[in-house]
Structure formats: C-alpha cells, structure tokens
Amino acid sequence: MCSRLGLEVDPVSTQVISRDRHAEFVSALAVVAASVERIFTEIRHLARTEVREVEEPFAEGAQKGSSAMPHKRNPWRSERLCGLARVVRAAVVPALENVALWHERDISHSSVERVSLPDACIALDFMLAEAAEILDGLVVHPERMLANIDASGGVVYSQSVLLALIDAGMSRDEAYRIVQEAAMESWRTGVHLRELLKASPAAKRLEGGEIDACFDPSRYLEHAGRVIERLETLEGPADE
C-alpha cells in the first residue's frame, strides 16, 4: 500500500505508527477544503438576486431554480461545497485526539480512522472535482459588476482620490477630511462623488482629468494578470 501511494515506510514506528503524521495530513485536507469554501462563499454572495454578478452553470430545460420563487437560480452547488468543507474540517479534531495513545500501542484511533479518513478524503476529492466544473462553466456578468460599482455614486473610489490629493502635496489628514466629507455628501444627496469633487474648491489641486482618472476601474486591475500568472505557475513573491 505504501508503494502504491508513494509513501516511505515509517523509520521510527513502534507497535503502531505515530499518528502525528495522520493529523498533519488531515489538517492539510481541512485547509484545502477551507480554501474551496472561501472561493464559493464569495460566489454565493455574487449570485444573490440583488448582486447578480455571476451564475453557476445552469442546464436549461433540465434544471429548476428556487422551489418557491421561479426567478431565482440558487447557487446550490456552491452551497453544497461550503457544507462539505465543514465535514472535512470536522475530521481534524479526531485526528489530533488520535495522536496520544496509551503506552504507544492501543488501537483506540483505528475505530475513528476507519470513518474519518475515508470520509474526509472522498469528500475533498468530490469538492475539488465539483469546484473545477463549476468554475469552468461559471457565467460572469461584467455589466452587472460595473452597474454595482456605479450604484455607489463613486464613493468606492475614495481611496484613489485620497492618494491623488496626497501626491499633489496635500497632507493626509486634510485630504482624508475633504474626501470623507464629499463622500458623505454623495451618500446624502445622491450626487456622484466625482462631480462633488470637481465643484469643491478644496480639491482644486487636481485637474479635471486627474479627478476623472481616479474613477477609472481599470486602475484596480493593473496587477490582476500578474497575480493570475503567479498562481498558475505556483510562484509567490519569494520567487522574484
């Protein structure tokens, strides 16, 4: 079995193999499951009716949405992945409990492992296959993303304006006060933050073109391609 799995024989075993390595293995499974849950929790949020930026793959004619509200396409597969992540994580505590054995020979751990190890492995195997399929067929609505950004009246760009004012020579405290007051005014009146700033004498250090540039969403995507390449090649900052 060790040969089939590519494992070395334990060099320091007693009557049993120390279960610290099993606990480390199960902990690794739990971390992977938690990472899957992190991704699909976000997808569940983005699929909400009032957000509607993404949709799970949906088989037209062969799949229904909400049983009570026909307009809804519930992200049930993402919900299932989030639920199964709890099952995988639940195996961690039993694995840690299995490390301490009486006289390094009792078999109290084996009854646990016969259930928890195969269940955790099978669940995560399904999760990874399901996650890949959902992401491969994910429907993305960029126009909804822009609409949601615009619905804020531009206040989501407040940081860009703050940094631009600082670069123009304004103190951070003063720049923060100006942008915050304008943002609150935008919330209150519904006037776009960009227009309020253009009309503000306090923000005259920025030309109209500079203010417009602060509200360009592409600024936030400048390094997106680089981050994706880093992920695809499994390279991080330490490799640069």
Same domain, 100 and 191: no
Same domain, 135 and 17: yes
Confidence of residue 71 (pLDDT cuts 50, 70, 90): confident
Give the CATH number of the domain where residue 75 resides.
1.20.200.10
* Domain end (from 110, 142, 174): 142
User: Per the domain annotation, does 96 fall within a domain?
Assistant: yes
**What number is the average pLDDT over the span 199-219?**
87
Same domain, 130 and 160: no
User: Per the domain annotation, does 231 fall within a domain?
Assistant: no
Q: Report which of 128, 129, 135, 146 is spatially closest to residue 55, judged by C-alpha positions.
A: 135
User: Per the domain annotation, does 113 fall within a domain?
Assistant: yes
Same domain, 174 and 123: no
Same domain, 73 and 183: no
User: Per the domain annotation, does 72 fall within a domain?
Assistant: yes
The phi, psi pair for 49, rounded to 5°, reads -55, -45
Task: Give the pTM.
Answer: 0.82
* Domain end (from 123, 142, 161): 142
Same domain, 121 and 187: no
User: Per the domain annotation, does 66 fall within a domain?
Assistant: yes
Contacts of the segment 188-197: beta carbons below 8 A, 24+ positions apart: 190/153, 191/153, 192/153, 192/154, 193/153, 193/154, 193/155, 193/157, 193/158, 193/161, 194/154, 194/157, 197/161
pLDDT digits (tens, 9 = 90+) for 75-115: 999 999 999 999 999 999 999 999 998 887 888 889 999 99
3-state class of 55 per DSSP? strand
User: Which residues form the domain of 174?
Assistant: 152-221
Distance of CA 46 to the CA centre of its chain: 11
pLDDT digits (tens, 9 = 90+) for 133-146: 999 999 999 999 99
Between CA 161 and CA 193 the distance in angstroms is 10
Same domain, 86 and 167: no
pLDDT digits (tens, 9 = 90+) for 125-179: 999 999 999 999 999 999 999 999 999 999 999 999 999 999 999 999 999 999 9
- To the nearest whole number, what is the mean pLDDT of the chain? 90
Give the CATH number of the domain where residue 158 resides.
1.10.40.30
Q: Per DSSP, which regions of 12-95 are E strands?
A: 54-55
Same domain, 69 and 123: yes
Among the residue ranges 14-23, 29-38, 91-100, 190-199, the one predicted with the least confidence is: 14-23
User: Per the domain annotation, does 67 fall within a domain?
Assistant: yes
Q: What is the count of structural domains for the chain?
A: 2
User: Per the domain annotation, does 11 fall within a domain?
Assistant: yes
Same domain, 137 and 47: yes
Same domain, 10 and 96: yes
Residues near 133 by beta carbon (within 8 Å), at least 6 away in sequence: 57
User: Per the domain annotation, does 53 fall within a domain?
Assistant: yes
Same domain, 210 and 168: yes
Q: Are 228 and 135 in contact (CB under 8 A)?
A: no
Same domain, 65 and 128: yes
